[in-house]
C-alpha cells in the first residue's frame, strides 16, 4: 500500500503564476473595429446605437464603452468595450463579429486578450494541428522506470530550467544521469501524474502527456489556453482549467464541441483522450470594498480516492457530486448544505467500524449562521448520509486536514473570544475508523496555528504557531514548532493525542513529512532573512528521555541545513532524499537546487541560472504483497551483503575510470606541449 | 597576504601587472596615475604622473626598463621605470583599453576603443629598448576591426601572430607583420565579450575570460580550444600560473547588476582550476567587489588580484599549494625522475 | 639663737619635707601616667589582635562558602556527566583535586560522543532504509513484466 497522497502535490507555485495572469483581467474586454468616424457631438448617438447591438449578447453600459478621439476631433473608428463577464465577451466576438452596422460599416469584434497575444508576436499562424489518428500499435510499457536499469532502485526527477526540460536519475552525490532532455518541451510548467506514469506538458493549445521509455506522446487534451491541470488519484481522469472561456471556432474544434463553448473546466478520460463534460467558472462573489478579490479555489474539482466521483463546491450552498465516467450528477441533485465553506474527500477508501456497504467519505464545514453553531460534518457517499457531525461555537475559520489513510481527520478551528479580541486554535480530531467516530479535542493553543501536517500513514502531527498576527509584514513572524503524538496503549487502539515537544523562537513556516512518515523537515521558505531546514526523526533509535516514556515518539533533531533563498522542498517517493530549490518563479537570487539525504546531510548543490522547477517522479503502489514485503524484511541481511558489495565495486570502478580519464588528459596535454616546444625551438633556429 | 589600498578613493577598479622577475607590481586605476609596488611586502616604489584620464591598462617590458600605459585621455604613454619620466606619448581619437609589449620588448601594441564613428583599432609601434633613445611617431601597423570591436590583444610567440579577443565572443589571429586577418573563430557564446587574454610563459597558448561565465585555453597556432573552465559568474579576468598547472579566474557581478548587494551573491572570489583536468580546486576570498584582474607572478610564487573595491591583493602561495598534486600527476613525476 | 636655729632648721625641714612630698607626688603622677600609657598600648594591641582574628574568621568563612559552591557546581557537573554516560566515574570524595577545566573538556568530549553516537545510529538507520527500499524494488522489478502483460 504505497499510495501516492494527492494532498502532497504542492500547487502553490502554480497558483501563484495563475493569479498573476488573472491580474491582466482583460478577458472581459473586446475591441470593436470598423465604426464610422464621428465628432464629439455625434458620439453619444453612435454609442447608444452600438449599445443596442452589444447588449444583445451580454451586458455592458455606456460608461463601459471607451471610444478614443483623434487629434482632428473625430473618433478613431474603434472602441473598447467591457462586458460583465468573460463569457459574454467571448459571445460578443462570436456573434457580433462581421455584423453590418449600416451599409458602409461592418463591425469587427476581437477579444482584447487575442489582440495582445496575436498582435504582439506575430503568432497568428500558430493554429492547432489536428491529431493524426494513429494506427493501433503495441503500447509501450509505461512503468519501465520502476525497474532502474542500474539495479540500484533509484528515483527519477524532472528539472525545468530556462526553456529546457530534462528527466534524470538521482545519483545522490554524483552528477544525475540524464534520461531525456528536450528544449521547449513545455510552455509554462511540467507536472507528473500522481502515480508517475505521465509527464504533463502545458501549451497554449492544450495539455500533452508523455511517457514510456521513448518518452513518446501518450495523449493530448486540446483545451486552449489551459492554465491548470489536476489528475484523479488513479490516473483515470483529469480536469483542465483555463481562465479564458473556451471559444469554439466556426470550423469546429478537434476535441471539443459547441456545448463546451464558454466553459472553463473540462473533465477528460485519460486513456481515450475524450472530454467527458465541461463546466463554466462559478461566479465569484464580488469582493467587498477595499478587500482583495477572492482567491480561486484549486483544485476546484476534487476526486474521491477511488476515481468513482468528482465533486465541486458551490460556496455557501451545496456540493455537486458527479459519478464517473458518466459525469451525471449523483441522484440528479446537488447536496444542499447551507453555508458550506469547504469540503474534502477522504484520501483513502475507509473501512469504518461496523459498516459493510461501499462508501466514500466527504467532510465539510459550515460557519455560524445566526444563532446556529458552526458545524463540521462527515458524509457518506453515495448515501449522502451524515455519519458524524460536530457543533462548534465562536469559530472564525476552520481548515480540514485528512490523514493520508483517512484514519483521522483533524479540523483546525480558529476561535475568537466573545469580544473577538483574542484568538485561539483548537484541534478537533475525528477518529474515523473507530466505532461511532469519536472526536477528541487535542489542545487549546493560545497562539494562531499557521500550519498543520499529519505524518503520512501515521498518527503524529506537527504544527507551527505564532503569537504575532498573520499578515504581510516585512520581517517574518517568530514561530514555534510543536509535535504531537498518541500516548502508548496496551492494545491496538491509538491512545490520546499528547503534546510531545515545542521548539520556539523559530522562523519556520513549512512542514514536509517524508512520504512514509517518521522523518520530517521543518523549513523556512520564501524568506529573505532565514532559510533553515531542520531535519527531525520521530523514531530515533537511541536513548529516549524519561519524560517521553509513555509517548509513541522519540524525537531527535538530526541536522540543520541552510539553503539560501529556498522556495520549495520535496521528498523523493522513497523518503530517502529531500530536494530543495530556489525557483526563478519566486525570485532571481541563487536559483538552483540542493539534494540532501533524509538526515539533512547535503549531497549535492547545483546552482542553475533560470531554474524553475524540480519534481520527483511519483511511484505507484508497490506490486509486492504484504507477505512478500515481510519476507524481504526478514532476509534483509542477505540483500544488504549484496548491496554493500555492489556499492564497493562500483565505487572502485568509478574511481578507476576517473583516474584513467585524468591520466589520459595529462598525457595528451604533455604530448601537445612537447610538440609545441619542439616546433618553437625549430622556428627559433631559423 | 599583502593588501595594497589605493588612495585616496576606494571606488576604483584596480588592474595589477607583474614584471618578469615577479618582484614589482604595476597597478593602474581610474585615478590617473600608475603605482609601482614591491610584491613581497606591498611597499610603494613610486608613481608615474602624466595621464589626464582614467588609466585602463599597463604593461611592463621584459627587462623592467620601460612601462607602457593606455588611458581614457586617448593616449598611450611610455615611461622610464627608474626615473618615472614620461618618455613618449602617442595620441589617438579614442580611449586606449589595452597595451601589451611583445615577448622581446621590441614592439608595443595598443587597442583603441570604438566610439564616435571611429572603429576599434589595433596599433603597433616599434620600440627602441634604450630609454634614452627617441621613440618613433610612426605606427608599424594598424589593424582596423570592422567586424566586431577588439577588446583585448597580444603578440604570440616569436612575434608571429597578433591575437585579439572581440566583443562578439570570437578570437582573431592576424599576421603580426602584415596585419592580415588569418582566422576568426567564435569560441565563446555569441555577443558575450571577451574581456581578458593572458599568455603562458612561451606565448604558445593563452587564456580568455568572457562574460559568458567561462574561460578558455586556446592554442595561438591554430586557435584550437584546448580547455574550458566553466564558472558561475561573469568573468573579468583569467591567468595561467607558472610552476603549477593551474589557472586562476576572477569575476563577479557588480553590485548594480545584482538584486541584493552582498559578497555572497556577488561571488567575489578568485577561483582556482586545474589547467589540464578543468576541475575547480579552490577559491580565495578577500575582495568586497568583483575581481577586475587576476595576475600570476611569472616566478610562480604569488598571484595578485585587483578588485572594484579599490584594493590590490597579493597572495603568496604556501607549502600546501606547491605540494598539491593529483595522484596521476605524482605518478607522472615519479616516472620521470 | 638656738630657737632661731631651731626655727630655721624647722623651716628647712619643712621645706625639705615639702620638696620630698612634691618629688613623691611628681613621681606618683609620672608612674600613673606611665601605667596609663602601658595600659592603653595593651588595649590597642588587644583590639588589633581581635580585629585580625575577626578578619581571619571572615576570610575562612568566605573561602568555605566558595569551596562549598564550587564543590556543588562540580558535583552538579559530575552528576550531569554521570547521568548521561555511566562510563564516566569521578570520585566525589576527591572533589578538591578535580580541575574544572578537566570537567569542561570532559563535557565537550561527551557532547562530541553524543553527536557521534547520534550520527552513527542515523548512519545505520539510513543504510537499513536504503537497503530495504532497494530490496523491495529489486523484488518488485521481477513482477513488472507480468504486470505489463495484464
Instruction: Convert the pLDDT of each residue in B287-330 to its tens digit.
Output: 888 899 999 999 999 999 998 888 889 999 998 899 999 989 98
> Who among B157, B327, B329 is closest to A680 (CB)?
B157
Q: Do A141 and C137 touch (CB under 8 A)?
A: no
Q: Do C140 and A622 touch (CB under 8 A)?
A: yes
| Structure confidence at residue C93 as a pLDDT band (50, 70, 90) | low
Residues in B closer than 8 angstroms to A590, CB to CB, are 265
DSSP symbol at A258 = G
Residues in A closer than 8 angstroms to C131, CB to CB, are 636, 639-640, 643
| CA B127 – CA B107 distance, rounded (Å) | 5
Q: Which of C113, C138, C149 to mutate to test the interface with A (most CBs of A within 10 A)?
A: C138
CA distance C59 to chain A (A): 44
Whether A678 contacts chain B with CB within 8 A: no
Residues 345-384 of A with CB under 8 A from B: none
pLDDT of residue A21: 44
> Who among B157, B204, B328 is closest to A666 (CB)?
B328
Residues in C closer than 8 angstroms to A540, CB to CB, are 118, 121
Q: Do B328 and A662 touch (CB under 8 A)?
A: yes
Whether A589 contacts chain B with CB within 8 A: yes
**Which residues lie below 8 Å from residue A159, measured CB to CB, with a gap of 6+?**
A165, A166, A167, A168, A593, A608, A611, A613, A614
| CA C76 – CA C69 distance, rounded (Å) | 10
pLDDT of residue A234: 96
Q: Considering only alpha carbons, which residue of chain C is nearest residue A139? A: C148
Helix (H) or strand (E) holding C108, with range, is helix C100-149
| CA B28 – CA B16 distance, rounded (Å) | 7
DSSP letter string over A534-568?
EEEESB-SS---GGGTTBS-B-EEEEEEE-TT--E
| CA B13 – CA B19 distance, rounded (Å) | 20
| CA A16 – CA A20 distance, rounded (Å) | 6
How does A205-229 read in b/e, with b if 16+ C-beta sit within 10 Å? Answer: bbbbbbbbeebeebbbbbbbbbbbb
Over range A110-117, report the average pLDDT: 68
Q: Do A153 and C138 touch (CB under 8 A)?
A: yes
Q: Do A599 and C126 touch (CB under 8 A)?
A: yes
Residues in C closer than 8 angstroms to A623, CB to CB, are 140, 143-144, 147
- Taking one residue from A and the other from C, the number of pairs with CB-CB distance under 8 angstroms is 80
| Structure confidence at residue A169 as a pLDDT band (50, 70, 90) | very high
CA distance B29 to chain A (A): 31
Residues in C closer than 8 angstroms to A598, CB to CB, are 126, 129
In this predicted structure, which of A103-112, A588-597, A669-678 has the lowest mean pLDDT?
A103-112
**pLDDT for A634-646, tens place per residue?**
999 999 999 999 8
Whether A641 contacts chain C with CB within 8 A: no
Q: What are phi and psi of A497, to 5 degrees?
A: -75, 130
**pLDDT for A235-282, tens place per residue?**
999 999 999 999 988 888 888 988 899 999 999 999 999 999 999 988
Q: Which of A150, A632, A645 to mutate to test the interface with C (most CBs of C within 10 A)?
A: A632
| Structure confidence at residue A4 as a pLDDT band (50, 70, 90) | very low
| CA B94 – CA B52 distance, rounded (Å) | 14
Chain C positions with Cβ closer than 8 Å to A: 117-118, 121-122, 124-141, 143-144, 147-148
Q: Considering only alpha carbons, which residue of chain C is nearest residue A576? A: C130
| Structure confidence at residue A353 as a pLDDT band (50, 70, 90) | confident
Q: Do B204 and A680 touch (CB under 8 A)?
A: yes
Over range A443-455, report the average pLDDT: 87
Touching pair A, B by Cβ (3+ pairs < 8 Å): yes
Whether A499 contacts chain B with CB within 8 A: no
| CA A431 – CA A494 distance, rounded (Å) | 9
Touching pair A, C by Cβ (3+ pairs < 8 Å): yes
pLDDT at A126 over 50: no
ipTM: 0.73
Residues in A closer than 8 angstroms to C128, CB to CB, are 636, 640
Chain C touching partners, 3 or more CB pairs below 8 A? A
DSSP symbol at A294 = P
Amino acid at each position: 500500500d504505497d499510495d501516492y497522497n494527492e494532498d502532497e502535490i504542492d500547487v502553490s507555485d502554480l497558483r501563484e503564476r495563475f493569479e498573476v495572469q488573472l491580474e491582466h483581467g482583460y478577458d472581459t474586454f473586446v475591441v470593436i473595429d470598423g465604426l464610422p468616424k464621428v465628432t464629439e457631438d455625434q458620439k453619444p448617438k453612435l454609442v447608444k446605437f452600438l449599445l443596442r447591438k452589444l447588449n444583445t449578447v451580454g451586458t455592458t453600459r455606456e460608461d463601459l464603452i471607451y471610444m478614443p478621439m483623434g487629434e482632428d476631433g473625430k473618433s478613431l473608428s474603434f472602441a473598447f468595450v467591457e462586458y460583465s463577464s468573460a463569457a459574454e465577451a467571448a459571445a460578443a466576438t462570436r456573434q457580433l463579429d462581421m455584423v453590418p452596422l449600416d451599409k458602409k460599416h461592418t463591425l469587427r469584434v476581437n477579444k482584447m486578450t487575442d489582440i495582445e497575444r496575436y498582435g504582439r508576436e506575430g503568432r497568428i499562424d500558430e493554429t492547432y494541428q489536428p491529431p493524426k489518428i494513429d494506427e493501433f500499435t503495441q503500447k509501450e510499457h509505461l512503468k519501465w522506470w520502476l525497474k532502474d536499469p542500474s539495479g540500484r532502485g533509484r528515483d527519477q526527477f524532472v528539472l525545468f530550467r530556462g526553456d529546457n526540460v530534462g528527466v534524470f536519475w538521482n545519483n545522490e552525490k554524483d552528477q544525475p544521469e540524464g534520461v531525456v532532455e528536450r528544449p521547449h518541451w513545455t510552455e509554462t510548467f511540467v507536472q507528473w501524474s500522481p502515480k508517475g506514469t505521465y509527464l504533463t506538458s502545458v501549451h497554449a493549445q492544450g495539455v500533452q502527456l508523455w511517457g514510456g521509455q521513448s518518452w513518446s506522446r501518450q495523449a493530448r487534451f486540446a483545451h486552449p489556453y489551459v492554465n491548470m491541470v489536476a489528475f484523479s488519484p488513479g490516473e483515470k481522469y483529469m480536469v483542465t482549467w483555463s481562465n479564458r472561456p473556451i471559444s469554439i471556432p466556426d470550423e469546429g474544434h478537434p476535441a471539443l464541441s459547441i456545448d463546451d463553448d464558454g466553459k472553463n473546466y473540462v473533465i477528460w478520460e485519460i486513456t481515450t483522450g475524450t472530454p467527458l463534460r465541461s463546466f463554466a467558472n462559478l461566479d465569484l462573489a464580488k469582493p467587498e470594498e477595499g478587500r482583495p478579490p477572492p482567491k480561486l479555489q484549486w483544485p476546484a474539482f476534487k476526486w474521491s480516492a477511488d476515481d468513482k466521483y468528482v465533486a465541486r463546491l458551490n460556496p455557501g450552498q451545496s456540493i455537486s457530486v458527479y459519478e464517473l465516467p458518466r459525469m451525471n450528477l449523483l441522484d440528479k441533485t446537488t447536496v444542499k448544505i447551507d453555508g458550506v465553506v469547504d469540503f474534502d474527500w477522504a484520501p483513502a477508501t475507509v473501512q469504518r467500524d461496523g459498516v459493510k456497504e461501499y462508501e466514500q467519505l466527504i467532510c465539510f464545514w459550515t460557519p455560524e449562521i445566526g444563532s446556529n453553531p458552526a458545524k463540521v460534518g462527515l458524509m457518506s457517499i453515495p448515501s449522502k448520509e451524515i455519519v458524524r457531525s460536530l457543533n462548534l461555537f465562536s469559530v472564525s475559520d476552520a481548515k480540514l486536514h485528512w490523514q493520508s489513510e483517512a484514519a483521522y481527520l483533524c479540523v483546525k478551528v480558529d476561535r475568537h473570544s466573545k469580544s473577538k479580541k483574542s484568538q485561539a486554535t483548537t484541534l478537533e480530531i475525528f477518529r474515523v475508523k473507530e466505532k461511532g467516530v469519536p472526536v477528541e479535542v487535542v489542545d487549546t493553543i493560545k497562539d494562531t496555528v499557521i500550519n498543520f501536517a499529519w505524518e503520512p500513514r501515521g498518527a503524529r502531527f506537527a504544527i507551527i504557531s505564532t503569537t504575532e498576527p498573520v499578515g504581510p509584514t516585512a520581517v517574518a513572524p517568530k514561530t514555534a514548532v510543536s509535535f504531537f503524538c498518541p500516548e502508548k496503549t496496551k492494545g491496538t487502539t491509538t491512545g490520546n493525542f499528547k503534546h510531545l515537544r515545542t521548539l520556539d523562537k523559530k522562523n519556520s513556516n513549512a512542514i514536509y513529512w517524508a512520504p512514509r512518515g517518521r522523518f520530517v523537515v521543518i523549513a523556512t521558505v520564501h524568506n529573505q532573512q532565514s532559510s533553515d531546514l531542520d531535519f527531525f526523526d520521530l523514531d530515533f533509535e537511541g536513548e529516549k528521555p524519561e519524560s517521553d516514556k509513555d509517548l509513541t515518539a522519540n524525537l531527535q533533531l538530526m541536522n540543520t541545513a541552510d539553503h539560501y533563498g529556498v522556495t520549495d522542498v520535496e521528498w523523493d517517493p522513497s523518503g530517502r532524499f529531500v530536494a530543495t530549490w530556489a525557483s526563478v518563479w519566486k525570485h532571481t537570487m541563487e536559483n538552483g537546487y540542493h539534494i540532501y539525504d533524509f538526515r539533512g546531510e547535503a549531497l549535492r548543490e547545483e546552482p542553475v541560472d533560470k531554474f524553475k522547477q524540480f519534481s520527483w517522479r511519483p511511484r505507484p503502489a508497490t506490486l509486492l504483497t504484504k507477505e512478500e514485503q515481510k519476507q524481504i524484511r526478514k532476509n534483509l541481511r542477505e540483500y544488504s551483503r549484496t548491496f554493500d558489495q555492489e556499492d564497493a565495486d562500483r565505487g572502485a570502478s568509478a574511481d578507476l575510470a576517473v583516474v584513467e580519464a585524468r591520466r589520459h588528459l595529462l598525457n595528451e596535454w604533455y604530448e601537445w606541449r612537447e610538440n609545441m616546444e619542439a616546433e618553437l625551438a625549430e622556428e627559433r633556429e631559423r | 597576504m599583502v593588501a595594497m589600498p589605493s588612495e585616496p578613493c576606494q571606488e576604483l577598479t584596480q588592474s595589477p601587472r607583474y614584471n618578469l622577475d615577479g618582484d614589482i607590481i604595476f597597478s593602474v586605476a581610474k585615478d590617473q596615475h600608475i603605482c609601482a609596488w614591491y610584491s613581497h611586502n606591498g611597499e610603494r616604489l613610486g608613481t608615474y604622473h602624466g595621464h589626464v584620464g582614467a588609466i585602463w591598462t599597463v604593461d611592463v617590458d621584459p627587462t623592467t626598463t620601460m612601462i607602457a600605459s593606455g588611458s581614457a585621455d586617448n593616449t598611450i604613454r611610455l615611461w622610464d621605470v627608474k626615473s618615472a619620466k614620461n618618455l613618449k606619448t602617442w595620441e589617438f581619437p579614442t580611449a586606449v583599453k589595452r597595451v601589451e609589449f611583445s615577448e622581446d620588448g621590441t614592439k608595443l601594441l595598443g587597442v583603441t576603443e570604438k566610439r564616435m564613428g571611429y572603429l576599434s583599432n589595433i596599433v603597433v609601434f616599434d620600440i627602441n629598448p634604450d630609454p634614452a633613445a627617441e621613440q618613433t611617431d610612426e605606427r608599424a601597423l594598424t589593424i582596423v576591426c570592422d567586424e566586431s570591436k577588439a577588446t583585448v590583444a597580444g603578440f604570440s610567440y616569436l612575434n608571429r601572430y597578433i591575437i585579439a579577443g572581440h566583443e562578439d565572443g570570437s578570437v582573431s589571429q592576424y599576421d603580426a607583420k602584415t596585419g592580415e586577418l588569418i582566422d576568426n573563430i567564435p569560441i565563446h557564446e555569441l555577443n558575450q565579450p571577451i574581456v581578458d587574454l593572458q599568455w603562458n610563459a612561451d606565448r604558445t597558448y593563452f587564456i580568455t575570460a568572457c562574460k559568458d561565465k567561462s574561460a578558455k585555453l586556446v592554442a595561438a597556432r591554430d586557435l584550437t580550444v584546448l580547455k574550458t573552465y566553466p564558472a558561475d559568474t561573469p568573468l573579468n579576468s583569467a591567468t595561467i600560473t607558472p610552476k603549477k598547472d593551474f589557472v586562476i579566474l576572477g569575476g563577479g557581478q557588480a553590485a548594480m547588476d545584482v538584486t541584493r548587494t552582498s559578497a555572497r551573491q556577488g561571488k567575489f572570489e578568485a577561483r582556482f582550476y586545474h589547467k589540464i583536468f578543468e576541475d575547480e580546486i579552490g577559491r580565495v576570498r578577500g575582495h568586497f567587489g568583483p575581481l577586475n584582474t587576476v595576475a600570476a607572478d611569472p616566478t610562480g610564487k604569488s598571484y595578485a588580484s585587483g578588485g572594484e573595491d579599490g584594493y590590490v591583493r597579493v597572495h603568496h602561495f604556501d607549502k600546501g599549494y606547491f605540494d598539491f598534486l593529483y595522484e596521476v600527476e605524482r605518478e607522472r613525476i615519479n616516472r620521470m625522475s | 639663737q638656738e630657737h632661731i636655729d631651731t626655727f630655721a632648721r624647722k623651716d628647712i625641714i619643712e621645706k625639705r619635707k615639702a620638696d620630698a612630698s612634691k618629688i613623691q607626688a611628681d613621681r606618683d603622677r609620672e608612674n600613673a601616667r606611665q601605667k596609663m600609657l602601658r595600659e592603653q598600648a595593651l588595649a590597642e594591641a588587644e583590639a588589633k589582635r581581635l580585629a585580625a582574628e575577626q578578619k581571619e574568621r571572615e576570610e575562612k568563612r568566605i573561602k568555605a562558602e566558595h569551596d562549598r559552591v564550587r564543590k556543588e557546581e562540580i558535583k552538579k557537573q559530575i552528576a550531569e556527566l554521570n547521568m548521561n554516560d555511566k562510563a564516566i566515574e569521578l570520585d566525589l570524595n576527591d572533589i578538591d583535586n578535580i580541575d574544572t577545566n578537566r570537567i569542561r573538556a570532559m563535557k565537550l568530549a561527551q557532547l562530541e560522543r553524543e553527536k557521534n553516537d547520534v550520527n552513527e545510529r542515523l548512519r545505520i538507520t539510513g543504510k537499513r532504509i536504503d537497503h530495504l527500499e532497494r530490496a523491495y524494488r529489486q523484488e518488485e522489478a521481477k513482477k513488472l513484466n507480468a504486470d505489463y502483460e495484464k
